[in-house]
Structure 1
Amino acid sequence: MRTTYIHKVEDSEAFKHQLLMWSQQFDDVVWLDSNNYQQNHSKYDAVLAVDAFTSIQTDFHNAFEQLKDYQSITKDWIFGYLTYDLKNDVEPLRSHNHDGLEFSDLYFFQPKKLFFFKGNQVEIHYFKMVDDEFETDLKAIKLIHPSTHQLINDSVKIKLRIHKEDYFEKINNMLAHIHRGDIYEANFCQEFYAENTQINPLETYNKLNGISNPPFATFLKCNDKYVLSASPERYLKKEGNTVISQPIKGTTKRSLDMAEDEQLKTELLKNEKERSENIMIVDLVRNDLSKTAIKGSVEVEELCKIYTFDQVHHMISTVKSKVESNTNPVDIIKSTFPMGSMTGAPKISAMKIIEALEETKRGIYSGAVGYFSPSGDFDFNVVIRSILYNETKKYVSYSVGGAITAKSDPLKEYEECLVKAKAMRQVLEDQSK
């Protein structure tokens, strides 16, 4: 079905840039880059999938069953995304908030051409029907000069969907739900957006990725819609019979002063509120994984470990389980979706309250981008720290959020949102200078 080639590269970073520029000719592109971030459970340094042979695109109605059928029939590599609003397929919920982006609820495609990076080696898989294009493609990729294109100099006027005073009112409303015992924790998100705006998607992604260097960076193109993501978070991975989830809960800023930076890490590790946020979501993830796990196999590998990124320090836990070899991979995702770190506890109550208080349909924000392998393994990130773009509508959006618990201070939550939004805002505002 596919022809495999092994290509050695002297400079993998330069080849990555050339390859991404070459990929822009296609309507269907998924690029996943670890930025050589040293973390466990990483199989590839980077992956590129382009040029759809087959695809599935649907709204939330029966979406997971349709994906299950598609994945079972293709028995091949498929790449794509799951939006947050697939919650409506999992539970009797709805999404009626404003949607300026208009992504389909689910999209996957079977690529004709695949590139897997590991060290200085690229493993390339071409469908038999296009393997005669390999040599021509490789020459074209190598001829690309990996210099930057000029950004489109539109003035990006970023607006707030929720203004500061309204934000405080909504957080206090959520705290009232917590104090009543309706929920223990919920992730509340707000959108920043720009209308009548053109951006250069690839250059915007390169700048965002260059600022953040995260382990789950994504460039996704689906016709006229783009995800430009500097995500630090893995949602779910399956390798063999092992399933891994790595929720992030707990964030603090970085400092250029090394001593102060270490102090910020120590304070985050000891912060009672941040630890309680993380542990509540770990309990939720353990419960979600237990739905498909072999009895007694769910374990917490790391609890509240501090990971350092270019922009922030994060508190991350790693939860693992074992599944039977005949467990359908889509069922594992469906039983844990949406991810606990972006919902709350109890999950369904939290999602209902989120929907009532937020102003924007989340769509692909707080959903997931990733792939299934022919054997049914998979790996998906969480779509956060992301600029989303509808080229036809000239609509640019990024959202940020945080976990609200009984100990939350609305002002501190607002300030944390601004820290998380810093890189996206900087990239977009730099374009008009």
Structure 2
Amino acid sequence: MVPVIIINEINLNCSIQDLFYSLAASKEYEYICFLDSSLVPNKYSGFSYLAWEPDFAVFHQGSKNRLIKVSGFKKDSVLNEESDPLSFLRKVFTENINVKNEKYLIEKLKNDSLHSSFAYKASPIRGRSAAIPKFTGGFMGYFSYDLKDFMEKLPAKAIRDIDIPVYYLAFYTKLVAFCHKTGKLYFINMHNTKNGYKSNVPEEIIKRAIHESRAAAKNLKSLVLKNPKKIKNHIENKYRTKPAVKFNLESNLSKSDYLEAVRKAKKYIHDGEIYQVNMTQRFKCRLRVDPWDLYYILRIKNPAPFSAFIGFPGLHIGSSSPERFLLLNGRTIQTRPIKGTKPRGKSRAEDKKNAIELSKSIKDRAELNMIVDLERNDLGRFCRYGTVSVKEHAVVEKYEKVLHLVSTIAGQVRKGHDVIDILKATFPGGSITGAPKIRAMEIIDELENTARNIYTGSIGYIGTDGSMDLNIVIRTFIIKDGQFYYNVGGGIVEDSDPESEYQETLDKGLALKETLEFFTRSIIDFI
């Protein structure tokens, strides 16, 4: 079968974030995925993608992989088997990924070209245009950090106190894409054919695609009109009537425990077992806030190029991640590890000073150098010999609350290697584990005491054409059973100062803390 993707521009007169909010707040859809390039302009992801009605979903929970066909609120379990999740996913991906996709953009014919009463054509999309969506249907969702346990034989010492799937992916054949450069909104519709159309799409197929896109636009517009135009004000007013509540964010590690964990990590480094390790702590609280309200405010307070919202049954995730894990286009793969953090300055002069200090930081550059070497080795496991190279190194990038040092490593994937091979070689990312990676992950499980779950895993898409774009899950909250969680952490090296490392975790969680304070209207304390 050859997947055929037809892309048609639609006009809703609203922003992509307001469209997302309208869908989520309607509570009509259980499977919402919003891959949100909320930092605009940014050079890494010119599109945001929003999908809400999948054909099916796959996930692994307990000891079983499940595939569920989805139709509105009706769900039919098709597969329910005990097996290795990576083997199961390889089977699902093999059945649904085909690099021979045909893609067409519906265009209106010029008046002098009209030869019939039908005024549209489907133009083949060849190559990759910056103005055409890169993702045109396929899988959207997450891989949790704990998927590592199925890639390596690791002693699972950390307590798994949140019951969520190890991975959760939904398969979408219909979605919308928003181009931040042109401001255009596209409806994308995919269907399978026996042999494709070979650049000659039948008129009835074009008519059907136009009809479906117009019907979708009409439905979406009706949802948008149900919400006020100024959604931020609406959210603020929604919670203003409720009494302000002062509460504490409870960590899985007390401050003294975290400092001791850093000291133990440094001892492992001093003894030569590792060169660096990423140490985190997790905060939690009970919170009565709708997840889409929380995410909408978070994306305002901390816009980021790899933000995302996922609303699956019983689980909501909101991410404002600045870090790309993997980008795969054709045979070209790229990873962009982040190391080193400084808070943004309160003035231009202070901001510049902090950027210079970060750029010249021996500790931060050493951390990044180690992770760049690790990522080069990971990519080298499946890339053509001689193609892996560092495209950028130790570049200071500015985000809403912090500055980061970033590098870019790229290579060309060898033939015969699929998405699962790539994930096995690279997941989880080196920037949020340490070096050497396997021993660092063992130490993380020992010192952090609770499993990371989604945190430092990946959110993103895997297209039916084999393309892939995944983030690193940082600056992220999850809401499960009315409980709110978020993790923060940093890289530990031999000369790390425990107090400074602890403060860095709080700096990284500032946007999430401020988002909570928006709703509680009070200062939140850490305990």
Indicate if the aligned counterparts of 1:235 and 1:247 stay in contact, CA closer than 8 A.
yes
Please list, as runs of the form range in 1=range in 2, the aligned pairs for 1:252-271 lying within 5 A after superposition: 252-271=342-361
Structure 1 residue aligned with 2:170, among 78, 88, 109?
109
Does 2:369 align with 1:279?
yes
2:55 partner amino acid: F
The residue that corresponds to 1:396 in the other structure is 484
Does 2:234 align with 1:137?
no
TM-superposed deviation, 1:239: 0.7
2:348 partner amino acid: M
Counterpart Cα distance in 2 of 1:290 and 1:49:
34
Identity of aligned residues (%): 30
The residue that corresponds to 2:403 in the other structure is 313
TM-superposed deviation, 1:101: 3.2
Indicate if the aligned counterparts of 1:100 and 1:395 stay in contact, CA closer than 8 A.
no
CA RMSD of aligned residues (A): 2.1
Q: Secondary structure at the match of 1:384?
A: coil
Indicate if the aligned counterparts of 1:34 and 1:217 stay in contact, CA closer than 8 A.
yes
Indicate if the aligned counterparts of 1:229 and 1:386 stay in contact, CA closer than 8 A.
yes
1:53 partner amino acid: D
Counterpart Cα distance in 2 of 1:268 and 1:368:
26
1:67 partner amino acid: L
Moved more, 292-301 or 323-332: 323-332
Indicate if the aligned counterparts of 2:157 and 2:449 stay in contact, CA closer than 8 A.
no
1:228 partner amino acid: G
Counterpart Cα distance in 2 of 1:135 and 1:387:
31
How has the CA–CA distance of structure 1 residues 38 and 286 changed in structure 2, closer, same or farther, with 3 Å as cutoff? farther
The residue that corresponds to 1:35 in the other structure is 38
1:284 partner amino acid: L
TM-superposed deviation, 1:140: 1.5
Counterpart Cα distance in 1 of 2:139 and 2:386:
31
Please list, as runs of the form range in 1=range in 2, the aligned pairs for 1:320-335 lying within 5 A after superposition: 320-335=410-425
Please list, as runs of the form range in 1=range in 2, the aligned pairs for 1:97-176 lying within 5 A after superposition: 97-118=158-179, 119-126=182-189, 131=212, 133-144=215-226, 145-146=228-229, 147=231, 148-149=234-235, 150-151=238-239, 153=242, 155=245, 156-176=247-267
The residue that corresponds to 1:66 in the other structure is 88
Structure 2 residue aligned with 1:409, among 487, 497, 507?
497
The residue that corresponds to 2:74 in the other structure is none
Q: Secondary structure at the match of 2:52?
A: strand
| Gapped regions of structure 1 (runs ≥ 5) | none
TM-superposed deviation, 1:277: 0.5
Q: Secondary structure at the match of 1:364?
A: coil
TM-superposed deviation, 1:127: 5.6
TM-superposed deviation, 1:19: 3.5
Does 2:11 align with 1:22?
no
The residue that corresponds to 1:237 in the other structure is 327
TM-superposed deviation, 1:41: 4.0
The residue that corresponds to 1:86 in the other structure is 147
Counterpart Cα distance in 2 of 1:9 and 1:408:
51
Indicate if the aligned counterparts of 2:457 and 2:473 stay in contact, CA closer than 8 A.
yes
The residue that corresponds to 1:56 in the other structure is 58
Counterpart Cα distance in 2 of 1:245 and 1:15:
27
Q: Secondary structure at the match of 1:365?
A: coil
Moved more, 409-418 or 128-137: 128-137
Q: TM-score normalized by structure 2? A: 0.77
2:34 partner amino acid: W
Indicate if the aligned counterparts of 2:327 and 2:335 stay in contact, CA closer than 8 A.
yes
Moved more, 359-368 or 20-29: 20-29
Q: Secondary structure at the match of 2:216?
A: helix
Counterpart Cα distance in 1 of 2:277 and 2:317:
25
Moved more, 352-361 or 57-66: 57-66
TM-superposed deviation, 1:281: 0.4
1:22 partner amino acid: L
Q: Could you report, residue by residue, the CA deviation over 1:266-324 in whole angstroms, capped at 9, with x for unpaired residues?
A: 00000000000011000000000001100010000011100000100000000001113
2:21 partner amino acid: L
| Gapped regions of structure 2 (runs ≥ 5) | 64-82, 98-136, 192-207, 522-527
